[in-house]
Structures are given as C-alpha cells and as structure tokens.
Structure 1
Amino acid sequence: MRNIYIFNLFLCLGATATRFLERNLAYKSPFLDAPQLGHNIDNLHKRQVQHVRRQMEDAGIFEDEHYVTFYGSDFSNSPFIWSGGLNFTHAGKMLGDPFDTSVLLWARAAPLPSSGSSKLPDQSVPVCLSYQVSKFADLSGPPVDSGEAFTSYDVDWTVKIEATGLQPDTKYFYRFSDCTDPTSTSPIGTTRTLPRPDTAADNVNGGNPFILAVFSCSQYQAGWFNAYGYAANFVKPDIYIHLGDYIYEGLGNGASIGRQTLGRELATIFDYRQRLAQYRTDESLRAAHLSGPWITVWYVADNAWKAGTADSNDTSIGCSFSPSGACFTDRKLSAVRAYHEWMPIRQVVSNDKLRIWRNFQIGRLMDLTMLDTRQYDRDLTDVSVIDKLVNTISSYENRSLMGAEQEKWFFQTLSQSQARGAVWRIIGQQIVFTQLNLSGTCELSKDAWDGYRANRRRVLDHLYGNKISNTVILSGDSHANWVSDLAYPNDTTKYNPISGEGAIGVEFGGTAVTSPSSFGPISQPETVIVSQAFVAANADLQWSEGFYRGFFSLKVDPSQLNATFYAMNDIASANLKGFATAEFIVKAGESKLSRPVAGGTVLAGALKS
C-alpha cells in the first residue's frame, strides 16, 4: 500500500516534475521553430513514473515531507531520482552567450555505480541537479538565482540552464550539486553578465578595460591545450571567443604524447558526444570553461561549406567519401544535436540554415559581431579535388562567403553600431580576411576570403563608403598569426603601408591552440624567412608568425585597443609555459595599427618595418 501511495503522490506532483525536465534546455530541440525535434517531456515523465520504487535503505516512518515534492524539499530519500552518487565530469560546468540579465550554465553529472557494484543505475531513473548563483566567491548569503533540473542518458547526462534575473555588467559565481546529497558538488565557477547596451563606454566593466581572449583550431592529437590554461591563469579574460575548430573530426595519431583520439571519424551523435567528452578531459580546457563565459560557433568537419565538407556531401559519391559513411546532412544534424547538449549555445532557427550569426552590444564600448563564414550559406570552397575549379570562380561577383541574408544583416549591424555611438566594432569570424600572396606568386588560399574576393570587396566598400571607423576583424583557421591594416588588397594608391594612412580598420588573425603550422614542419628560424616573404609581398600585412601555437587577447577601453599575442613554449606535455610574442595598439578614431607597429619589436615572426 505504501508504494501505491508514493506512486500516486508522484503522479499528483507530475506537473511540477515535468518542469524539472523542461528547465534543462538540453532536452529542447536545437531549433526554436522545430520543437518536435526535442525530447518529448511527457513521454520522459511517463517512463520515469513506470519505474517508481523505494530505495533499498529503510526510510523510517512515512511522512510526506520526507518525500520529493519537486520544489524546495528534501531529496535525500526520494525513490524517483538517482541517489547513488554523481560524478561531475569534465569540470562540472561551462557557460556561454551572456546577456545583460542572464547567462547559460552547463553541467554534466553521470550517475556512479551502486555501492559495491560496477552496474550503473536503471537509465530510466533521472539525475537531479540543483544550482545556485551568487555574487560571492564562497556562495555565501541568499542566492541571486537557484533551482533544480533533471538530466538523463537521453541528453548524455548534460544540463543546460538559463540563469535569469541577474544584474548587468556584474561578476557572479555558481555551483551545481546533487539534489539528493548537497555535499556532492561541482567546483565553483565564475561568470559575468554584459552591460546594458546604453551603458556609457567609460562605465563598462566598472571603468576597467574589457578583455577578450581569442582561440581557434584545437586538435586533440596534436598537443595539449595549454593555451586555454595560460589564458585562464594569467590573462583572466572577461569573455572567451572561439572562432572555430573547437574539435576535429579525424583521428590522427597522438599516442606518442598520450593524446590518442577515441572512436572513429565523426558521423553520429554518439561520435560527436564521445569526442567532445574526450576534449573536456584536458585540464587547461576545463580551467578556461570554469573561469568565464564563452562565445562560440558551429563545427561539423574540415573545410565545411553549405553543402558539404572536405570528404562528404549529399550525393551518392559524396557520402562514400567519408570514412564514416555519413552523408553531409546527417553528419551536420548529428553535430548540431551534440553541440546543443554539450556547448552553452542558445537555440537557433532551423529554417534559417542553422543561423548562429549574432551581435552582442557591450554597452557603448563595443559591438561584438559574430559571423558564420562556414555553415550558413557559404558557396563552394576548396575541397582539394576541385582546387582548380574554385580558383577560376573565386572572383565571381555573385560568389558569397556569408550568403545574401547574413551579408545584408552584417552591413546593417555595422551601420547601426556606429549610429548608436559604440566606440568599437569587433567582428569574430573564422577565416583570414586580408589577401595573403605568397612571395607575389598569386598563390592564394581559396578557403579564406581570398577565395571570395567580390564578397571581401563589398565589405570594404561598405566600411569606406559609410566611413565606419574603429572596425577590428578577428580571424582564425590558418594555424598562423597575421596582423594587418584593413584596406583594398595591395592598393597602395589609397593606402600607405608605412604610415597606415588610408586604412579603414585592423585585422588580428590568430594561430592554432595545437593544430600544426600552415608553414609546414620547419624550424623556428625557417618560419621567420617565410614570414618575411609574406610581409614583403602583401602591402596590408604588417606582421606574420608561423611557428608557435597559442592565442591572442584584446584589452579594450574607450581610448584604445591593445592586442597581445601569446606563444606556448611546449604543447607536447601539459604545462603553463608561454610568453607574449608581440603587442599591438589601435587608437580610437585612427582605424589603423599605431606606428611604429608593435612598438618596432617582436619576439617571433617578422614585422614589415
């Protein structure tokens, strides 16, 4: 009779129980306009009800308050959720896409086997996590936001929560814990909200510089992710920006440094989940995710464009190109589902080509505009077998890197940013914008903006034609460092490469976290020779460096922007050894690199002057 009573109690509380499922955004569809692609909450709830049972230990005299009410109650003796212990894997949490009054919190907590057994719990039994957000590092005092949410094997034991009701431009601390055992907790993490869009530039971040750390190209088997840890420990950015290749789909061979990838080339949801989980075992990556919010972009596979990748598309031949046997669309949707579970990104619209391009108004200090120059509506890119074809069409007027809708939105966003009085316009996108001739041979990368020259010209036309100042483009993908003034490629009639006069902005291109240099497996002195050839052959290019793995940071205030490039001494083992190779200044209103560029001195690579 007692079990029947508990079962009926659970049914009576069902409406509240489903809210615990609904609160976990990982159960929802990745697509705002396609809720049917999410998990059916009612069915999940019914499945859990079917397995209601008492735990093995004696609960003592039955009293209602000893049993779960799914809101503010004692979960310690609940038969409806797992109470056998949790493993807060992968540092427990990460966070992303901050707004001025909310942030996304993420955790993964897998159930531990029962005591004395290697057997995992019935996977129909949900795991319950509670969370709290505080202004204090020790989480003392009443939380500013708190709650509980369920997770299960359906979403790979992940929980994604939107913490709301927060104050703008404020630092917060947060933690997850096991609902059934408050002493079982994840590490305490740090996050922050953005300032309101109308916050005066001088008042953003309490009047202190706003710091961004910029990364791309993290290949697990190529080395340890020391750059993330270096940033978390020494740079302490307000926001982490990742411009692409957060994971890689291939296998490679990292066994010699203890970095052998698991599984196969990525194709299914399981494959992407497994690879994301393996990446998150890296201590430096976990430290970075604990120390601040991240803003990221999609990743599917190598050299992706709107209808394929380097080894897959949706033709019968294209499907067979992939070692995994997956066609492009299947692969893409698997990646999106796993990213929705594992990454702190918000839902997107399915019938708008998985749009992830968006804009963050960080007070009147800056607009941080994130483009999608890979997945959204990108025309055919260089996928090796058709290299010559892409070269013949790279200058076509109707060829687009962004697609017409994104391009129109981008131009409007730039103009609106200047009109609203934002000091800086910072554009995060995946690939190198500046033309990069190799020793004047016209050997251009068709996978960069050099393969979409008319599209690049239209961007420059908009900047020049509308006199849009203080534009800074961020780029990754190339596995090398590049710093340039923004101008029409090699047009020295309007642009002076010595003084910088005639430029309309600046580009900072960063190297890879670990992926091998695009200069090839050559020595550091040999890469300097290559860099000297690049800066000599390209008028806009002011610095090139191709040996070290690392990242760069931007320190932004109303009067100037400082960009510092960091190199890791060694990625063959886990360590925090690095140094600053170069520092660049851009003064507000000048729209060019300040001279002498990098103060006239760099510790790696080659300067034009």
Structure 2
Amino acid sequence: MKDILLDRRSVATATFSLGLLSACSSWRGAGRAFAQNPFTLGVAAGEPSPDGFVIWTRLAPAPAEPSGGLGPQPVPVAWEVAEDPNFRTIVRSQEGLAQPRNAHTVHVEVGGLQPHRPYWYRFHSGGATSDTGRATTLPAPGANVDRLHIASVGCQDFESGFFSAYGHLAREPELDVIFHYGDYIYEFGQRDRNPFRRHLGNETATLDDYRRRYAQYKSDPDLRAAHARAIFIPTFDDHEIDDNWAGDFSKDDGRTRAFLQRKANALRAWYEHMPVRSSLQPSGSTRYFRRFDFGALLRMHALDTRSHRSDQFCEGAAARDAAGADCIPRYDASRTMLGREQEDWLQRGLSSETGWNFIAQQVQMLPFDGRRDGETETVRSTDNWNGYPHARQRLVTAIAEQGLGNVVIGSGDMHQHLVGTVPLDCEDPESRPVASEFLATSITSGGSGSERHSFQQDILARNPNLALLNNRRGYQIYVVSPNQWRTRLKVMDQVDTPSGAVSDLAEFVVERGRPGPLRA
C-alpha cells in the first residue's frame, strides 16, 4: 500500500512509503526527540530515472538491538531534495511515518526532477538530521552523453576484513553510479576470521536475524560514505540468502518449507535495506531484473542469476548423497540460468543502437578451466555460467547473430580481479571474441589476499581467453565514452586493519565494435 503525499512547496511526483503524517507542526518539531542519533545506518539512493530516483534511510538509534532500538510505534520522518549541497534551493520535500512493520525503513520514489544532473538529499526526525547524500538522475532518453563513471563492487564479508575500499571509493573524483553485484551481507554466524570484526548472532534465518545483520553492515562508516557519495544499483547473489542457493533450492537441504520461509525472510530484509522501488517488494511474481538507459551512451541490464536458475549439479550434501562422491554433471539444453522470461527479455533488450550494452550480473560468464598441476580433467564451477553451458551459448549466439560489438559483462563472486573475453564458441576459448568481461574482486571476502595465488600462472596458461587474474581485494571503475570503454582495477594492500591503502593495478581498454580487452 502506497500513500502519495503532497509536497509542502509544490505538488511532487513522489511516493513515500510509508504512511501519512497527520497535520502537525513542521518536521523539526514532529515526533519525540531521540536520546541517540536515529540515522546510524546512513542514507542511500538508487534506481535512477531521467526524472528522479529512490532515496532510503532506516531509523535505528540502537542498530544491534531488536527493532533497532525503537518500539512498535510509527515514527515521524521528513525528507528534502535540493539542487545544492547546502540545501539553499530545495525542490522536493515531504513528511511521513516510518512504520515498524518495515523495520522503520523509508523508501521515497522521488520524481519531477531534471535529467542528468546531481541532487542532494537528507532526512529529519525528532530534531535529528541524517547524513547528506548525493544522487544523479539519468540522462534524457536518447541524449548524447560524453562520459560515464561506473564502479563495480561486491562480496563484503564483515568478518573477513574492514570496508576501507568503500572509503576510497567514496573519494573517487568522478563517480556517477555504483553497481553492486551482490553478497552485500554474509549469512554465516561467527567464524573467528578477524578479532575486530565479528558477526552479531548465529547464522541468519529469521526476519529479525537478517534485519540485524543488515544493520551491522550498514553501521560501517566506509560503507555509509560510499552510499552517500553516489547512486547504488544493487542486485543480490547467494549470501544475502544462503550460500549457493538456486531457485527454490538451498545448498544442502534442497527444496524444503524451511528454506522457502528463510528465502522469503531474506528477500524482505534485502528490500527493506536497499534503495529500490516498491515494485521490488518480494512477492510470488517479483521481477528483480531491470534495465537502465544512460541516454544514447549505455544500456545497463541488471540481471538476477539466482531466482530462476535450475539447481546446480553436484552441489551440496543432497547432490553428493544422490550421485556419490564422484558426481558428474550432465548438462542438457533445458537447464537455465535466467529462466525463459528473463532470457527472452535480455535478448530483446540488447541493441546496436545504444553505444554500449552493459550486462551487469553476479557470476563469471566466460569459459574458465580451474585445473591445477596434476589434474588432467577440465575443472569448471557448477555455480556460475560454466555450470549452465547451453544457457550461456544461447546468449552468446544471440549477441553474435545481432552483430553486436558493444557488449561488456560485469560480474563478481570469485573474490579476484579477472579480465577476459567471452568467445563465440564457449568450448573453444580461442574462438572469435563476442564480449568482454570484467569480474570485480571482493571488498573483503577472502581476506587481504596476495598478488597472485601460487597456481595462477597455470590458470592463465590454460585459459587463453584471460588477460588478467589477481588475488587482491578492491573494486573496478569503468570510464565509458561513445567509442571506448576503459576499466581501472583498484586493489587494497590489506583489509586486516582499517588503514588499508588503495592503488591502481592495471587499466584495460575495449574499443566499440572490437570485443576483447587490451591492456592500456
């Protein structure tokens, strides 16, 4: 249920979930005063359009406590959007209630703004004021855009290290959008990874478990700074719910009523804590895949590679029990990574008319043989596109048949920087390149890492479609212009302490019409 509120200055096209604030004095006096800052989880913006975006916050004066330290009552909250960081020219503002049934989170779908320009936003409640966030609207449809800066991030296990990479990302001089490929939280209980970073509570299962885990992660100051810096376009991968889940199947127990309830709890908490539109509130028909057009420069296809996929082969205890220790994957054309609806949607949306097609998704797509010394058989993951070869080949063939030379794939999950090409024949990595892939390393997952694993040179030798593989933490920055895509790989020296430094690892260039990354 959505209530449309009237702007105090003009009639605004904005949706405030959740509830009307009855007539009262101005927001500065509305509601009780807080003994502690209620905006401990910061602010965020997402889901950009040419005339607006979503802004988010959650009221949680005590984020580690149940309900964030708030009782069962609604709490008055107000928001403002301005043309300048000092809020001298406020263009939208409203008042409403943050409801306990939604963990006192607020999602505002702001509209009526000008295309392709920055705005600043903030929230107020009980005399307190939130951080100030910055968000940029999309260019008008078909508009010429000279340059776009996109960051790619993900895999941020709280226990594996500090989120210092986000602090560095927040200080990047130019940044339009942050694509989060998933694993925003990790569901595990305490694992003694880092004495200074411990998960609160046991492994997540209930709605309250997931809400508290998001609150713990969002309390991190570096993550808060990154959210305040730029629009996030978030997707989810496995750890937001359960390691290596697929469709209605958990990793270890298969399709059970308990897992379906856990998944519902997790997706509700994900919606509550992400700056996304109300259409992404979880229901039986929710579509998490969506598309964003940055004028004529770039079309971003944000995919969901978890909800509709066939169950993995040889994954988890149930598969091992059924097939034995030497389980052999047996693939057939009916197996899917995206589901038919999403697969058709993606193929229809790919276009040569836009400057670039950016397929923003969660897991490695390019063919990859993970054999090490002494292993004679090809080793392929069953949890990424290598475990769904027919589905991958259908997509690759569609790209080739349309003659698209403008496809770049963003991915993650591997906890390493990887750069390479997706070939026309995925069984022959040396066949003609069809798309470029930039797989971003983790923020913390895997620990500080090293410049390379001992076996990485063997991996590169067995995979001629790879240009780089690196085992440091960090993020990637894409600098996109009409005829050139540049990717800058950023790496952290360590994540064991909050003083980690960032540096440039490498830079790659893709020329439009010529798939395949070249080292700059």
Output the TM-score relative to the length of structure 1: 0.75
How far the C-alpha of 1:366 sits from its partner, in A, is: 0.6
Counterparts in 2 of 1:235 and 1:153: CA distance versus 1, 3 Å:
same
Say whether residues 1:380 and 2:312 are aligned partners: yes
CA distance in 2, matches of 1:85, 1:127: 14
Residue 555 of structure 1 corresponds to 479
> What residue identity is the alignment partner of 2:347?
F
Within a 5 Å distance, the mapping from 1:206-221 to structure 2 comes to 207=146, 209-221=147-159
CA distance in 2, matches of 1:235, 1:381: 44
What SS does the aligned partner of 1:144 have?
Answer: strand
- Alignment counterpart, residue 301 of structure 1, candidates 242, 266, 287: 242
Of structures 1 and 2, the one scoring higher in RCO (CA 8 A, sep 6+) is 2
CA distance in 2, matches of 1:544, 1:144: 47
> What residue identity is the alignment partner of 1:530?
F
CA distance in 2, matches of 1:480, 1:561: 21
Residue 133 of structure 1 corresponds to 81
Q: CA RMSD in A?
A: 2.7
Kindly tell me the number of residue pairs found equivalent between the two proteins.
Answer: 492
Say whether residues 1:514 and 2:451 are aligned partners: no
Output the TM-score relative to the length of structure 2: 0.88
**Is the contact between residue 367 and residue 422 of structure 1 (CA under 8 Å) also seen in structure 2?**
yes
- Alignment counterpart, residue 413 of structure 1, candidates 339, 345, 349: 349
How far the C-alpha of 1:197 sits from its partner, in A, is: 2.0
Say whether residues 1:190 and 2:190 are aligned partners: no
How far the C-alpha of 1:575 sits from its partner, in A, is: 2.7
CA distance in 2, matches of 1:489, 1:124: 55
Residue 426 of structure 2 corresponds to 489
CA distance in 2, matches of 1:256, 1:565: 26
Structure with more strand by fraction: 2
Q: CA offsets per residue over residues 211-255 of structure 1, 9 Å max, x none?
A: 111012110101111221111113542111111111110024347
**Is the contact between residue 310 and residue 384 of structure 1 (CA under 8 Å) also seen in structure 2?**
yes
Residue 542 of structure 1 corresponds to 467
How far the C-alpha of 1:83 sits from its partner, in A, is: 3.6
Counterparts in 2 of 1:401 and 1:121: CA distance versus 1, 3 Å:
closer
Counterparts in 2 of 1:530 and 1:338: CA distance versus 1, 3 Å:
same
CA distance in 1, matches of 2:223, 2:449: 27
With 327-336 and 151-160 compared, the bigger mean Cα shift is at: 151-160
Residue 31 of structure 1 corresponds to none
Counterparts in 2 of 1:196 and 1:379: CA distance versus 1, 3 Å:
farther
**Is the contact between residue 229 and residue 576 of structure 1 (CA under 8 Å) also seen in structure 2?**
no
Q: CA offsets per residue over residues 390-415 of structure 1, 9 Å max, x none?
A: 9644531111111111111111111x
**Is the contact between residue 504 and residue 591 of structure 1 (CA under 8 Å) also seen in structure 2?**
yes
> What residue identity is the alignment partner of 2:106?
V
> What residue identity is the alignment partner of 2:58?
R
**Is the contact between residue 489 and residue 540 of structure 1 (CA under 8 Å) also seen in structure 2?**
no
Residue 49 of structure 1 corresponds to none
How far the C-alpha of 1:380 sits from its partner, in A, is: 3.3
Q: CA offsets per residue over residues 248-297 of structure 1, 9 Å max, x none?
A: 10024347441110011111110000000000121111110111111111
Say whether residues 1:154 and 2:94 are aligned partners: no
Residue 167 of structure 1 corresponds to 114
With 150-159 and 273-282 compared, the bigger mean Cα shift is at: 150-159
CA distance in 2, matches of 1:256, 1:485: 36
Say whether residues 1:331 and 2:275 are aligned partners: no
How far the C-alpha of 1:360 sits from its partner, in A, is: 0.6
Counterparts in 2 of 1:462 and 1:252: CA distance versus 1, 3 Å:
same
CA distance in 2, matches of 1:586, 1:77: 54
- Alignment counterpart, residue 582 of structure 1, candidates 506, 510, 513: 506
Residue 12 of structure 1 corresponds to none
CA distance in 2, matches of 1:285, 1:590: 36
> What residue identity is the alignment partner of 2:249?
G
**Is the contact between residue 349 and residue 355 of structure 1 (CA under 8 Å) also seen in structure 2?**
no
Residue 11 of structure 2 corresponds to none
Say whether residues 1:102 and 2:40 are aligned partners: no
Q: Report the identity percentage.
A: 29
With 348-357 and 547-556 compared, the bigger mean Cα shift is at: 348-357
CA distance in 2, matches of 1:280, 1:111: 13
CA distance in 2, matches of 1:77, 1:583: 52
Structure with more helix by fraction: 1
Residue 592 of structure 1 corresponds to 516
> What residue identity is the alignment partner of 1:341?
E
**Is the contact between residue 421 and residue 436 of structure 2 (CA under 8 Å) also seen in structure 1?**
yes
CA distance in 2, matches of 1:351, 1:123: 27
> What residue identity is the alignment partner of 2:438?
F
Within a 5 Å distance, the mapping from 1:212-361 to structure 2 comes to 212-234=150-172, 236-254=174-192, 256-298=194-236, 299-315=240-256, 327-346=258-277, 347-348=279-280, 353-361=285-293
- Unmatched segments (≥5 aa) in structure 1: 1-14, 17-21, 28-40, 46-67, 113-119, 320-326, 496-501, 600-609
What SS does the aligned partner of 2:455 have?
Answer: helix
How far the C-alpha of 1:441 sits from its partner, in A, is: 3.1
Within a 5 Å distance, the mapping from 1:392-471 to structure 2 comes to 392-414=328-350, 417-418=351-352, 421-439=353-371, 441-471=377-407
How far the C-alpha of 1:490 sits from its partner, in A, is: 5.1
**Is the contact between residue 486 and residue 507 of structure 1 (CA under 8 Å) also seen in structure 2?**
yes
Counterparts in 2 of 1:88 and 1:408: CA distance versus 1, 3 Å:
same
Q: CA offsets per residue over residues 167-188 of structure 1, 9 Å max, x none?
A: 111101111112x53xx21121
What SS does the aligned partner of 1:334 have?
Answer: helix
Q: CA offsets per residue over residues 499-518 of structure 1, 9 Å max, x none?
A: xxx3112011121111117x
Counterparts in 2 of 1:475 and 1:76: CA distance versus 1, 3 Å:
closer
How far the C-alpha of 1:445 sits from its partner, in A, is: 0.7
> What residue identity is the alignment partner of 2:165?
A
CA distance in 2, matches of 1:391, 1:467: 38
**Is the contact between residue 162 and residue 444 of structure 2 (CA under 8 Å) also seen in structure 1?**
yes
> What residue identity is the alignment partner of 1:89?
F
- Alignment counterpart, residue 123 of structure 1, candidates 39, 46, 71: 71
CA distance in 2, matches of 1:76, 1:170: 28
- Unmatched segments (≥5 aa) in structure 2: 7-13, 63-67
**Is the contact between residue 174 and residue 189 of structure 1 (CA under 8 Å) also seen in structure 2?**
yes
CA distance in 2, matches of 1:565, 1:382: 33
CA distance in 1, matches of 2:514, 2:290: 26
